[in-house]
Amino acid sequence: MDEFVMEYEEKMEKTMNAMLSDFMAIRAGRANPHVLDKLRVDYYGSPSSIEQVANVSIPEPRLLVIKPWDKSLIKPIEKAINMSDIGINPQNDGIVIRLTFPEMTEDRRKELCKDVKKKGEASKVAIRNIRRDANEVIKKMQKNSEITEDEQKDGEDKIQKLTDRFIERIDKEVDVKSKEIMTV
């Protein structure tokens, strides 16, 4: 039964990690290189992440500087940024690309907090769906006499405790990210 529970714990952990990576891409008024994580640039025919083709640095709290290894990549990187939903216009001087993060308004901060809460709720739903799937499998196993009734109850209890633990972690991460966004 422990192996079974571990399998579902891994699924819940993947859901948690997906939410955290989404949170990293949400900018909180400061320059954050993770906003570029999902962007891809065509580099000699293969889509590559910006980190693979350029040096990304943060010389000031609200400035991100991208210096491509190959100067011919300036235009493709700039195009990828413009086509993304980052909402920042890149400035290119032929050598580097600068992304200046504007100071966020109170309304924009509140909007981002709502977005963070929505992502948190979606993750909780995913965790609960994993719990439901696990409980269905446990009930089938008991129905097919593969496990006893006591083992069924024990398995369901373990899955519920796991679910509660992940829901609590999600709530904490949502609070942390919301505070980060609201900090001026």
pLDDT in tens, 90-104: 888 888 999 888 777
Same domain for 152 and 112, yes or no, is: yes
Last residue of a domain, one of 47, 76, 100: 100
Last residue of a domain, one of 80, 100, 120: 100
Does position 29 have pLDDT exceeding 70, yes or no?
no
What is residue 165's predicted lDDT score, i.e. its pLDDT? 95
pLDDT in tens, 107-163: 888 888 998 999 999 999 999 999 999 999 999 998 998 888 899 899 999 999 999
Does position 184 have pLDDT exceeding 70, yes or no?
no
Which of 19-28, 83-92, 102-111, 155-164 has the highest mean predicted lDDT (pLDDT)? 155-164
Does position 28 have pLDDT exceeding 70, yes or no?
no
Same domain for 109 and 158, yes or no, is: yes
Same domain for 111 and 161, yes or no, is: yes
In the chain, the amino acid numbered 5 is V
Provide long-range contacts, Cβ within 8 A and 24+ apart, for 119-122.
119/19, 119/22, 119/23, 119/174, 120/19, 120/170, 120/171, 120/173, 120/174, 122/19
Same domain for 111 and 171, yes or no, is: yes
Last residue of a domain, one of 52, 72, 100: 100
Q: What range does the domain containing 147 cover?
A: 2-24+105-182
What is residue 46's predicted lDDT score, i.e. its pLDDT? 84
Residue that wins the pLDDT comparison between 1 and 167? 167
What is residue 163's predicted lDDT score, i.e. its pLDDT? 95
Does position 169 have pLDDT exceeding 80, yes or no?
yes
Same domain for 83 and 124, yes or no, is: no
Same domain for 116 and 176, yes or no, is: yes
* Token reading at 44: 């000699």
Q: What is the CATH number of the domain that holds 113?
A: 1.10.132.20
Q: What is the CATH number of the domain that holds 57?
A: 3.30.1360.40
pLDDT in tens, 41-55: 888 888 888 888 889
- Total domains present in the chain: 2
**88 within 8 A of 17, measured Cβ to Cβ:** no
Does position 27 have pLDDT exceeding 70, yes or no?
no
Give the Cα separation of 102 and 80 in Å (integer). 19
